[in-house]
Amino acid sequence: MKKAQEHTAPKKYGMVIDLDKCTGCGACMAACMAENNVPFREDETDKNLSITWLRVYKLTNGKKFPNADVCYLPRPCMHCEGHHGHSPCVSVCPATATDYSYDTGIVSQIYTRCFGCRYCMAACPYHVRYFNWWDPVWPEGMEKMLSPNVSVRTRGVVEKCSFCFHRYQIAMEKVRYEGRAELAEDEYQTACTQACPANAITFGDLNNHDHAVYKLKTHPDAFRLLERLGTNPKVYYISSREWVRRQGDNYLENEGKVVAKAH
C-alpha cells in the first residue's frame, strides 16, 4: 500500500482526435453532458448561452460543389500547459479557483471557490469555459438520473471540461486499494472517448510510451489548435486534409502551405 502511494512519474493526460474519422454525430457531446451533469434549458437556440463542455464545430473548405468539403471538429477543454503550467486561464483567476495539476496535466475548476468574475473566459481563446447564467433546472424526475460523482453547479460560476476527472479519482482509488502504482490505459477513459462510435477519440497519458496517444501525437498529420499562441494544448487533432490543418491556426498569406509538426 505504502509503495502504491509513493510519487509516480508525472502524467500528462491528453487526447488525439482523428478528424477524418469524426462524422459529427454528436454522441461525444451527449455522453459528456450526461456524465458531467451539464445543465440545459428549454430554449437552447442561442448557442452563446448554452453550456457544452465538448462542442462539435462544423468546418468547411469554402468551396462549391463538387469541391465542397466538410469537417467536424470536437472541441473539449484543451487543458493547456502553456509555458511550465502557465495556461491562459489558470494564471489569471484571481481566487485560485482553477488550477493546473503537474501530476496529471489536467486544468481543474473549483466551483465552490469561483465567484464568477469570468476573467478565465476572457483569457481562453477556445471558448471552452462556460458561465452558469441560470440555476440548473432539471426536467421532473431527471434529477434522479444525475451522476453522483459530479457536483452540479450553481448559478454564477464558471464550468468546463475536466477530462472526466472523477473517473480518474475513482480509478486511482482502485489502483491504490490493489496496491499498484500505475493506472492501466483502459482504467481511465473519458466519457466522450468511450461514446464515440467511430473511435475518433483516443485518450491517455501523453508521456507514457505504452499509451496509444503517445504515438498518435507524433503522426505526420497531427496538429493542435492555435499552437502559435503558446497555449501548449494537450488535445491533438489528425487530419490528412491540408485545409483542415490550416484551419487549426492563423497564418499570414505569405506563410504558404502548412506542414504538420511532429511533437
Cα separation, 36 vs 43, in Å, equals: 20
Cα separation, 229 vs 152, in Å, equals: 33
Quick one: 119 or 138, whose CB is closer to other proteins?
119
Q: Does 97 bind other proteins (CB under 8 A)?
A: yes
Q: Does 258 bind other proteins (CB under 8 A)?
A: no
Q: Does 88 bind other proteins (CB under 8 A)?
A: yes
Q: Does 181 bind other proteins (CB under 8 A)?
A: no
Q: Does 242 bind other proteins (CB under 8 A)?
A: no
C-alpha cell at 169: 479519482
Cα separation, 187 vs 168, in Å, equals: 8
Q: Does 117 bind other proteins (CB under 8 A)?
A: yes
Q: Which amino acid is at 209?
A: H
Q: Is the dihedral of CA 47, 15, 100, 185 positive or negative?
A: positive
Quick one: 8 or 23, whose CB is closer to other proteins?
23
Contact 154, 132 (CB under 8 A): yes
Q: Does 132 bind other proteins (CB under 8 A)?
A: yes
Q: Does 241 bind other proteins (CB under 8 A)?
A: no
Site for other proteins in 18-77 (CB under 8 A): 46, 48-51, 57, 59, 73
Quick one: 11 or 153, whose CB is closer to other proteins?
153
Q: Which amino acid is at 151?
A: S
Burial of 180 (0-12, 13-18, 19+ CB in 10 A): middle
Q: Which residues are at the interface with other proteins (CB under 8 A)?
A: 46, 48-51, 57, 59, 73, 80, 82, 88, 91-97, 113-127, 129-135, 154-158, 225-226, 228-231, 246-253, 255
